[in-house]
Amino acid sequence: MKVNNEIAINWDRFDWQAFQKVQSILFNLVEKQGLREIRLDFSRLKQAFPNGLVPLIVLLERYRQSSGVNFEVVLPMEEICRRYVMDSNYAAYLCAGEHYPVTNKANALHRFFDDSSLNELINSQIHQILERATYAQGVLQSFEWMLNEVAGNVLVHSGVEHGWMQVVVHPKTRHMAIVVADGGIGIPTAIREAFPHQVMDEDAIAHALKEGITSRPDFGQGKGLTGTLQIVKINQGGRLSIHSQKGRVEWANDRLDIKGDFPPFPGTFVDIQLNTAVPIEIERALWGDAPAYPFNDALYGMDTAVGVMRMKLVGEAAGFGNRLTGLKIRNKIENLLAAAPNDVLEIDFTGVDLMASSFADEVFGKLALVLGFVGFGSRIRFVNINRFCRGILDDVVQSRIIQSHAKK
């Protein structure tokens, strides 16, 4: 391959700014010079960010499909960065056809094609984020609501057959990033179909963010983007950034910034950042009088009476023996209880014949400490539990309560 077909990435970080530089060079090589063989050399890269690599993946896919360009991508040499690029599925999607594995790991980039693959993906994301950290009241409902709205938009508005999604949780900094992208027609083009006077791309995006604005009144209600912005606004430290075609609209530091963007992004890129330690009153965000959004009714509220959630323990893990699994399940239980503060949680032991004491202590012993005697007794209910598991449970919970009592 000739040297002039090569783009060497010489920056330590690959973020949106870096993406745009590469995009300009690619525009020149592909569209002006007509080149069809291009090498992208990331060997010197130290840090890859979703807001750099996800848009690049969308762009490369575009060039491959519409102009038949072949890309050779050289992965980073630096060990941690290289591993991140592999584990995030970036390697698989950047180097199409080179058979890097696509994983279903938490934090990785995923594709969705239709409503059923989107539902499946959102449910698996919820399972994964429930296990990894705890969240302030309303954060999980907001997360689920926004992800459904923004990713759902790809299916109904983008005009392409798949979208991209990545969710990254940082438990230490109490921060979460949600990225949704597509290589479709873009928000400005969609908006202009119904509002032709919106000639500037950035103004068209800002228009789409207003309540009740939809380009498909037969289909939508124009609540998705506006609600997303409201949620981000009431979450101190929350940010929203939307890039689409030649427009960029960003909410950060208590202000909305509306600007042109060049080169244009061929599709829609939405980046949401939440502070997971700050409670979000989702009903207030979504116009005050909206009914409370039942957090993941499909996963934990199906077939139960109102006010009762049910967790089937067998569905949560492959075994019930160790503290690490126990910690994940306890995180999930704490999140479910916080998400629906007036509900009872039924823990269904069907199919669980045996559980280790360390596991039981990690989940239920420590939960009893967090909730207190009365809280534990009134909010958690055990169903279909056998005598052995009940004995273990009694033992670890009593020990924990006695221990905490002795400390006092």
Ligand X SMILES: Nc1ncnc2c1ncn2[C@@H]1O[C@H](COP(=O)(O)OP(=O)(O)O)[C@@H](O)[C@H]1O
In 78-157, which ranges are E strands? Answer: 109-112
Judged by beta carbon distances under 5 to 8 A according to partner kind, the member of ligand X, Mg ion, none in contact with residue 268 is: ligand X
Judged by beta carbon distances under 5 to 8 A according to partner kind, the member of ligand X, Mg ion, none in contact with residue 158 is: ligand X
275 binds Mg ion (CB under 5 A): no
Cα end-to-end span (Å), the chain? 72
Judged by beta carbon distances under 5 to 8 A according to partner kind, the member of Mg ion, ligand X, none in contact with residue 73 is: none
245 binds Mg ion (CB under 5 A): no
Name the closest residue to ligand X (Cβ). 220
Nearer to Mg ion, 50 or 224 (CB): 224
**What are the DSSP calls for 182-230, one per residue?**
E-SS-HHHHHHHH-TT--SHHHHHHHHTSTT--S-TTT--S-HHHHHHH
Place of tokens 């509220």: 301
Nearer to Mg ion, 179 or 209 (CB): 209
Dist. CA 198–CA 178, nearest whole Å? 28
Dist. CA 305–CA 201, nearest whole Å? 48
Return the bridge partners of 41, or none: 8, 74
Dist. CA 74–CA 76, nearest whole Å? 7
153 binds Mg ion (CB under 5 A): yes
> Which of the ranges 133-141, 218-226, 340-348, 384-392 carries the binding residues for Mg ion, by CB under 5 A?
218-226
Phi, psi of 148 (to 5 degrees): -60, -45
Positions touching ligand X (CB under 6 A) are 149, 153-154, 157-158, 182, 184-187, 190-191, 208, 213-216, 220-226, 268
Residue 369 beta carbon to ligand X: minimum distance, rounded to whole angstroms: 43
Name the closest residue to Mg ion (Cβ). 224
Dist. CA 378–CA 28, nearest whole Å? 66
50 binds Mg ion (CB under 5 A): no
Residue 244 beta carbon to Mg ion: minimum distance, rounded to whole angstroms: 14
Return the bridge partners of 184, or none: none
Q: Which of 188, 224, 247, 365 binds Mg ion (CB under 5 A)?
A: 224
- Using left for φ > 0, alpha for ψ between -120 and 50, and beta otherwise, residue 79 falls in alpha
Nearer to ligand X, 75 or 180 (CB): 180
Binding region for Mg ion (CB under 5 A)? 153, 224
